[in-house]
Structure 1
Amino acid sequence: MEKLKKIEKKILKRSIEIIEKKLISEGDKILIAFSGGPDSVFLYNFLKFLKSRILIEISLVYVNHNLRVDVGNDLEFVKKFADENNVDYYIQSVDVKKYAIENKKSVELAARELRYKAIEDIRKKIGYNKIATGHNMDDNVETFIFRILRGTSMTGLKGIPEMRKNILRPILGFEKREILYFLKNKNQEYLVDYTNNENNYTRNFIRNEIFPYFEKINPDFRKKVESLIMEINERNFAEVEKFENEKNLEKENFKILKENSINKKDKLSFLLKKNNVQISREKINQIFESFFTKNGKLKSSGTKEFYLGENKILQNMYGELKIVEITNKNEIRNLKSDKNGILHDKATILKENQSIKWYNYKITLYKNIKDFKKNFVNDENISYTFFKIDDRVENGEFFVRSRKDGDRISLKNLGHKKVKKVLIDEKVPKGERDFVPIVGVKVFRVQNDLESSDNGVKLGNDNGNNSEITEILAISNIKFSKFLEKIRKKEIKKLRNESKSKLLIIGRKNGRER
């Protein structure tokens, strides 16, 4: 019983600390991420105790990942638990396997992303302002060890934050064995997830195979590691936390220009973490070598991009760092980087009578002008440019991609011109040039006049019958080739009855009319 009293005192102490730090305040509405496991049941009891001290509202949300055949038992437990405790609950179902395959992610990562999204959706729906998760000290130590093995930067050793945005982790300081002892002595039932004993996930392996050896060396190793995490937070980041409050630190646009005593790599790593980017020491070194001089100063000439993963790009535009987040699914599929993080885009095929989104652009290819629908251009935020496609290339394979070195476009009466030169002449900022869509076509068994084009790039064996030529048709809506004819929207109605040509439409958000 003495051990139980110590845990109860710890609960009281933590409750007071949470109130004093204003992690939870009077009137907060808190949605508990509830799995039915020991951590979430303990979390509920903790917040229920806190509710006896200040006026707060709590509800439960259970996310069904559809990964286990016996999930029905979980659902029954959640409903029973909610009824017995007279608390509202919500059930969300997600398809983890499908999401993982479509986005080429591990099941573990896919489950995490979908879980947080589902919980956030419920929070917004019911008008709550905070989410509470059952992460405990063991989870924090596992994360710390996991990041060390993965090769994290110094900031990654901070462990799991007790508060990030609207997500709160109230029981982060409790050991798993304390949680289990408390629930046992309070006769609290909970679910046991058998998949936690399977070592096919890295964290499970750390917990089940590595930690027992640590315990043999020091039974209290978790507390020792937690103490180390706290020391790292207090000693290595005290000065950086002050830097965070400076005006030049913003989520979408920040600079690292000031000279001070903070290690530049640590500062860079901290700023990335503040923008929810987890990155290894190796990647930090690659960014530093690319973006900074040997003296540690941010390069202020030109523009460079670095793919951070998780659909985010770090840009250095003339001495200003900016994180660009890509949210469109088509764009996410196109993103990839080489081993040095240099950004590339794969070509996306333009299918007839379908639209694709390319960063701030909407690009559509109609099989025939008569297929065009008036309501297509109702969006006031997008400016559209219309092109009739020359019959000589109508049977080719149309695509959209980023520019490549050596790209040229064949202009009517002007001959060919380098795409790079066009973008410079049009004063397109260097940092934006890789996001400008290049619309092109691959043509097979081409006619003689097309085959002799200055811009044509022959591929494969050219025996006069099987040659393949790639033509760049348009650089966004900035410049277009001799194989396109620009037309006005009001001309389309007339052409629908006269022409059977293909129609290319390039729309640009908040763009200039062209």
Structure 2
Amino acid sequence: METFRNILSFLNKNGIKLDNKKVLLSFSGGPDSTLLFNFLLFCREKLNTYFECFYLNHNEREDVEEEESFVKNICRKNGIFLNYKNVEVLSSKERKSLGFERAGRELRKRFLETIFKEKNFDYIFTGHNFTDSVETFFINLQRNMGLRGATPMKTVDKHYVRPLLFLKKDEIVGILREEKIEYVEDKTNFDRKIVRNKIRHELIPSLESSLKDGVLSFKTFFENISEIEEGFDQIVFEKLEIFRSDAKGLYILIDIPKILDYNKKLRKILIYFALSKYFYVNKNLIDEIQKVLISKKKNVEKKCGDFFIFKSYSNLRISKNFEENERIKYLELEMNKRVLFNCFEVEIKKVENEKDFSFEDGKFYFNVESGKRFFLKTFEKGDRMTIFKMDGSKRLSKIFIDLKIEKSLREKMPVLVNEKGEILLLGNLKRSDLYHVDLENDKEFFEVYVKRVC
């Protein structure tokens, strides 16, 4: 089918190759995902692409049985494994506060991420099209979301891929009808009480008939806005050196002294732009962050809606989602991968003993005999360690008391242990007296970076 070749060409232009790749398709049985399902069947035959589907039944519609039956049958018929989840999306106060559409979207993303990691997929495909981008623009316009709200969906966003962004909704439906490919229609898509549906059935047809190129008239506008956003991101995250984020976008760190160099109005703009890269933000959150920034208290922990604000001396961290902000108790470290463990960034890597090598402040070093696997855990009653340059061992609880470490921080402090259970390091406070490095004879050794960030 020519359409499939066009989709392949579009993906290739965006750097996506499907030869011998593994794809997870978010599948609902609707027109968009059904076209993608058939496209991936084509890729399975021509490019040896392997794919599975994910379907979420959130039990909120009367016609869901018809949709679920369609999805299961088409997967069974074509020998495609279906990752199926049946849940109550609005089963908690937290999810009810988000609203059904957003709660369902976040829950679906969480399931997709889990399957993606467990099964080592290369990409996650979603069926968003160009018309969806235009609809989202007007929804965000109503929400006063600023520049971020005006930017279109990205074709490639990390491992998420939207192969249909060059097609309009009516084009997709037309292709399916012409090829006599069956799909199911979500009846709630016609409920005009829902803002997106009102835009879809009233505003979009008006734009199609009024503008020379219909909704495609937004194409150049979206391209220009994307370039502006990219430029602002470089300024805010790279040039100003005020904000940092983790690789997954789970939190934003703010350098307090640097941002206080700007007046209140500019701070508001900068904070909005930095946070909105990863989160939905509102005026209340930004106002609360402003208050914490100028507070004379050195350490602050507070909740603002779905967000958590942590202030510690010169750093302020904003993170989201209660499940992701509970105190982590145990984590295995991977080499050369920096992780966030409660309020600390930690990384372990093997380094070579090069000429003129010297130990760096804020880093800790252990010889290669110190372990094959390394873990972070939190303090437990009875934990002891041998202290560097001290005879015998000492309880961690006594170390905390001697150093006057507040109780809330003790519960978050990372304790580095090896596979034998030997305690090697207590946060960024104390190193054990085990496994010293011999710079004259050791060709390589482990370097551990630990920094408190909140």
**Pick from 247, 263, 276: which aligns with 1:273?**
276
Residue ranges of structure 2 left out of the alignment (5+ in a row): 328-341, 344-375, 383-402, 415-425, 427-454
1:153, 1:279 within 8 Å by CA — same for their partners in 2? no
Larger displacement relative to structure 2 (143-152 or 96-105): 96-105
Shift in Å at residue 161 of structure 1?
Answer: 2.5
Alpha-carbon distance in structure 1 between the residues aligned to 2:168 and 2:62: 30
- Other structure's SS at 2:271 match: helix
Give the direction of change, closer, same or farther, for the CA distance of 1:316–1:212 in structure 2 (3 Å limit): farther
**Pick from 235, 241, 245: which aligns with 1:250?**
245
Compare CA radii of gyration and give the structure with the larger one.
1
1:155, 1:266 within 8 Å by CA — same for their partners in 2? no
Shift in Å at residue 188 of structure 1?
Answer: 0.5
Shift in Å at residue 178 of structure 1?
Answer: 0.7
Alpha-carbon distance in structure 1 between the residues aligned to 2:78 and 2:219: 33
Give the direction of change, closer, same or farther, for the CA distance of 1:314–1:173 in structure 2 (3 Å limit): farther
Q: What is the aligned partner in structure 2 of residue 112 from structure 1?
A: 105
Q: What is the aligned partner in structure 2 of residue 200 from structure 1?
A: 193
Alpha-carbon distance in structure 2 between the residues aligned to 1:117 and 1:319: 32
Q: What is the aligned partner in structure 1 of residue 307 from structure 2?
A: 312
**Pick from 119, 129, 132: which aligns with 2:122?**
129
- Other structure's SS at 1:322 match: strand
Larger displacement relative to structure 2 (311-320 or 224-233): 311-320
**Are residues 1:508 and 2:411 paired?**
yes
**Pick from 375, 378, 381: which aligns with 1:381?**
378
Paired residue type of 1:196: N
CA offsets per residue over residues 19-50 of structure 1, 9 Å max, x none? 34334454431111111110101122334445
- Other structure's SS at 1:190 match: coil
2:288, 2:304 within 8 Å by CA — same for their partners in 1? no
Alpha-carbon distance in structure 1 between the residues aligned to 2:245 and 2:325: 27
Alpha-carbon distance in structure 2 between the residues aligned to 1:203 and 1:119: 24
1:383, 1:509 within 8 Å by CA — same for their partners in 2? no
Paired residue type of 2:273: F
Q: What is the aligned partner in structure 2 of residue 215 from structure 1?
A: 208
Alpha-carbon distance in structure 1 between the residues aligned to 2:128 and 2:212: 20
Give the direction of change, closer, same or farther, for the CA distance of 1:130–1:72 in structure 2 (3 Å limit): same
1:94, 1:114 within 8 Å by CA — same for their partners in 2? no
1:156, 1:278 within 8 Å by CA — same for their partners in 2? no
Equivalent residues in 2 for 1:316-395, closer than 5 Å? 317-328=312-323, 381-383=378-380
Alpha-carbon distance in structure 2 between the residues aligned to 1:39 and 1:12: 16
Q: What is the aligned partner in structure 2 of residue 490 from structure 1?
A: none
Alpha-carbon distance in structure 2 between the residues aligned to 1:130 and 1:119: 10
**Are residues 1:240 and 2:221 paired?**
no
**Are residues 1:180 and 2:181 paired?**
no
Give the direction of change, closer, same or farther, for the CA distance of 1:271–1:124 in structure 2 (3 Å limit): same
- Other structure's SS at 1:249 match: strand
Q: What is the aligned partner in structure 1 of residue 287 from structure 2?
A: 286
Shift in Å at residue 291 of structure 1?
Answer: 7.3
Alpha-carbon distance in structure 2 between the residues aligned to 1:244 and 1:14: 33
1:384, 1:508 within 8 Å by CA — same for their partners in 2? no
- Other structure's SS at 2:74 match: helix
Alpha-carbon distance in structure 2 between the residues aligned to 1:181 and 1:54: 26
Q: What TM-score, normalized by structure 2, do the two folds share?
A: 0.62
Give the direction of change, closer, same or farther, for the CA distance of 1:21–1:312 in structure 2 (3 Å limit): same
1:255, 1:321 within 8 Å by CA — same for their partners in 2? yes
2:10, 2:163 within 8 Å by CA — same for their partners in 1? no
**Are residues 1:225 and 2:227 paired?**
no
- Other structure's SS at 2:411 match: strand
1:32, 1:60 within 8 Å by CA — same for their partners in 2? yes
Q: What is the aligned partner in structure 1 of residue 83 from structure 2?
A: 90
Give the direction of change, closer, same or farther, for the CA distance of 1:113–1:85 in structure 2 (3 Å limit): same
Residue ranges of structure 1 left out of the alignment (5+ in a row): 294-298, 333-358, 361-378, 386-424, 429-475, 479-506
Paired residue type of 1:46: F
1:138, 1:176 within 8 Å by CA — same for their partners in 2? yes
Paired residue type of 2:11: I
Give the direction of change, closer, same or farther, for the CA distance of 1:312–1:162 in structure 2 (3 Å limit): farther
Paired residue type of 2:287: Q
Give the direction of change, closer, same or farther, for the CA distance of 1:316–1:62 in structure 2 (3 Å limit): same
Shift in Å at residue 51 of structure 1?
Answer: 4.9
Alpha-carbon distance in structure 2 between the residues aligned to 1:194 and 1:326: 31
Q: What TM-score, normalized by structure 1, do the two folds share?
A: 0.55
CA offsets per residue over residues 127-159 of structure 1, 9 Å max, x none? 323211111111111111111101102122213
Q: How many residues align?
A: 338
2:14, 2:156 within 8 Å by CA — same for their partners in 1? no
Give the direction of change, closer, same or farther, for the CA distance of 1:165–1:90 in structure 2 (3 Å limit): same
Give the direction of change, closer, same or farther, for the CA distance of 1:91–1:215 in structure 2 (3 Å limit): same
Alpha-carbon distance in structure 2 between the residues aligned to 1:66 and 1:137: 28
Alpha-carbon distance in structure 1 between the residues aligned to 2:41 and 2:35: 10
Shift in Å at residue 191 of structure 1?
Answer: 0.3
